[in-house]
Structures are given as C-alpha cells and as structure tokens.
Amino acid sequence: MSSLAIPAPGVRRQAFGGRQALIEKITGMGFCLPATTLLLLTSLVPLCVLVVMSFTDYELGALDIKSVGLANFGKAMSDPMFRRSLWNTLLYVAIVLPGSVCLGLLVAVLVHQRKRTRSFYEIIYFLPVTSTLIAMATVWQFLLHPRLGPINAFLQLIGSRQYAFLSEPSLALPTLAVIGMWQLIGFNMVLFLAGLSAIPRDIYEAAEVDGCSGSIDRFLTITWPLLGPTTMFVIVTTSITAFKIFDTVAVMTRGGPMGSSEVLLYAIYLEGFQYFHTAYAAALTVIFLVFILVFSVIQTFVLDRRTHY
C-alpha cells in the first residue's frame, strides 16, 4: 500500500480508483441510511399522509374512510372560526413584524456604537430569547392582571384608566403581539449586530471626508443600504416565527375573549387534537404549510443572495 503512494497522484488514483469508488458508494449509502429512514418516517411519509387525509372524511378511530374531494377546504373557507384565526394570525404578524424589526434595528445601531456598555445591553435584550416562553407568559399574565398587576397599578398612579388587557376583545391580540415583540427584539438585534459588524469601518471614514457626517445621514447613505440583505433575512425569519404563534395563546387567552385571539396553529390544535376532526385539521395544516412554504421560498432566495453578497 505504501509503495503505491510514491508514484504520481494520477497513477495512484487509477490503481486505487475502482475499489475506492465501491467503498465510497457502500459507506456513503450506509452513512445516510439512518437519516434517510428517519426522514421518510418522520417527515416525508407523514407529509404525504397528511395531504391525502385532507381530501377524506377521516376522524380518529373511524373504520371506513371515503374521499370528499375539496370539501374540507371549502368548509374551511366558510368556517368563521378558521377565517377569524387566519385573519388574526396575519394581523399578529402585521403588528409583530414591523415592531420587532424596526426596534431590533434601532437597538442594534445604538448598541453597536457603544464600547464599554455593549455587552451589558446585549445580555439584557437577549435574555427573553433564551427564557422559557410558557413560564414567562404566566408572569406576563400576572403583570397584566386587571386588579393585581403592576402595569395597571402604574396606570392608576399616573391617573390613566385601567385596562383588562387580556379580556377585552380589542386588546387581547395587540397585547399578545407586544409580548411577541418582547421575545423577538433581542433576537433581531443580534442578527442586525452581525450585519453591522460586517460593514467595513473605512466606508464611514470615506463618507465623512465626502461631507456626510450627521449620524442620520450616515445611517441613510451607508448603513441602511448595506444592511439590505440582513434586513430581508430578518423580515422573513420574523414572519415565520410570528406566523407560528401558539404558546402565548395556549397559556394566556386560549383564543378568547370571544375568539379575538384565535390563531391558525391554535385552531389546528383544537380541531386535530381536542375535537379530533382529523381530516379537517389536516386540510387546515395544508393551508398552514402553504403559507410557511411561501415564506421559506422567499427565505431560500434571500439566503442565496446573502451568501453571494
């Protein structure tokens, strides 16, 4: 074997090639076998089953199944609960997305300029990302409590009227959105900070020589355009995360009051795992997946551009 290593590389590969290629084929397939099996069993086959199920009238435990065509999707379109939950989910995204992206960017720009206090702010703003949302949701519930919560006590102190944040239909969803922003701002801040440190410092110095010296000028002419790809990326990931809102609804409002905080995943959870309208829930899941795929396609496109940047 070692004598083969001495001749030119081309010769070695020839003498070695056939056997090595065979070994590669066998080990390659062997190494991928567990992953492929799991991929099929836990992801792709369930996905196919889900799509097929969405065209049937299956309910958990039912013995005969028949095809109903697009009836489940038709039912969804006219189901007030589903329409409300889809609308609420989109509304939630529409509040959380601009809020957490703009504030995340603003905080990142301000924190980036700090030297001694940077890690101090970084830790504080990132803390909500690592915390267990369900536990913190319970705390938020207490903070927002109409009678016992400090927020209403504070409102009383400054002479404002008090709010039952989670039991007034017009306030429940915006309140959940604020909590969603609370969790996402630090996450987006860190993504923006990574984007900001990639901008070379001499660009700013060159701009200053050219007479661009105000911090707002500097932001608009340099930072913002160069952060473009990062911003796109943050927008897409925030949309996906916000679209999957479930935890705070399940713990804090359970869709109420009067359906004002019903969201898509919560509707799917209720239909599929509480009422056991399995086929109908499958149809709703397919609709959910379509939205996620649209976001993901944009993301792949954006990611692609980001790596070429």
Partner 1 sequence: MRSESDSRRLSTTRPAWALLRRAVSLLFVHGFLLAGAVFMLLPFVWMLVTSIKPPEEIFTAQLRLWPKQFYGLENYRFALTSAPLLRFALNGVFICACILAVQLLVAIPCGYALAKLRFPGRQALFVLTLLALAIPVQVPALPLYIALADLGLLNTYFSMMVPFFLSVFAIFLLRQFFKGFPDDIIHAARLDGMSEFEIVWRIVTPSAWPAIAAFAVFSIVAHWNDLYWPLIVISDAKLAPPPLGMMFFSDAETGSNYGALTAAATILTAPLVVAFLFARRHFIAGITMTGVK
Q: Which residue in 55, 72, 84, 122 binds partner 1 (CB under 8 A)?
A: 122
Cis peptide before 229 (omega within 30 of 0): no
256 binds partner 1 (CB under 8 A): no
d(C-alpha 87, C-alpha 72), whole Å: 19
123 binds partner 1 (CB under 8 A): yes
Question: 66 or 201, CB closer to partner 1?
Answer: 201
d(C-alpha 110, C-alpha 121), whole Å: 10
153 binds partner 1 (CB under 8 A): yes
258 binds partner 1 (CB under 8 A): no
Q: Which residue in 79, 90, 91, 128 binds partner 1 (CB under 8 A)?
A: 128
199 binds partner 1 (CB under 8 A): no
36 binds partner 1 (CB under 8 A): yes
Residues 6+ apart with CB under 8 A from 163: 146, 152, 155, 171
* Range in contact with partner 1 (rule: CB under 8 A) among 70-78, 83-91, 113-121, 165-173: 113-121
- Tell me the CA end-to-end span of the chain in Å, nearest whole number: 46
Looking at residues 212 to 231 of the shown chain, list those that interact with partner 1 (rule: CB under 8 A). Answer: 213, 215
Question: 152 or 260, CB closer to partner 1?
Answer: 152
Looking at residues 50 to 89 of the shown chain, list those that interact with partner 1 (rule: CB under 8 A). Answer: 50, 53, 60
Q: Is-contact 246 266, C-beta < 8 A?
A: yes
Looking at residues 165 to 184 of the shown chain, list those that interact with partner 1 (rule: CB under 8 A). Answer: 182
Q: Is 256 exposed, middle or buried (0-12, 13-18, 19+ CB in 10 A)?
A: middle
11 binds partner 1 (CB under 8 A): no
Burial 211-229 (b: 16+ CB within 10 A, else e): eeeeeeebeeebbeebbeb
309 binds partner 1 (CB under 8 A): no
1 binds partner 1 (CB under 8 A): yes
d(C-alpha 98, C-alpha 100), whole Å: 6
Q: Which residue in 11, 15, 70, 138 binds partner 1 (CB under 8 A)?
A: 138
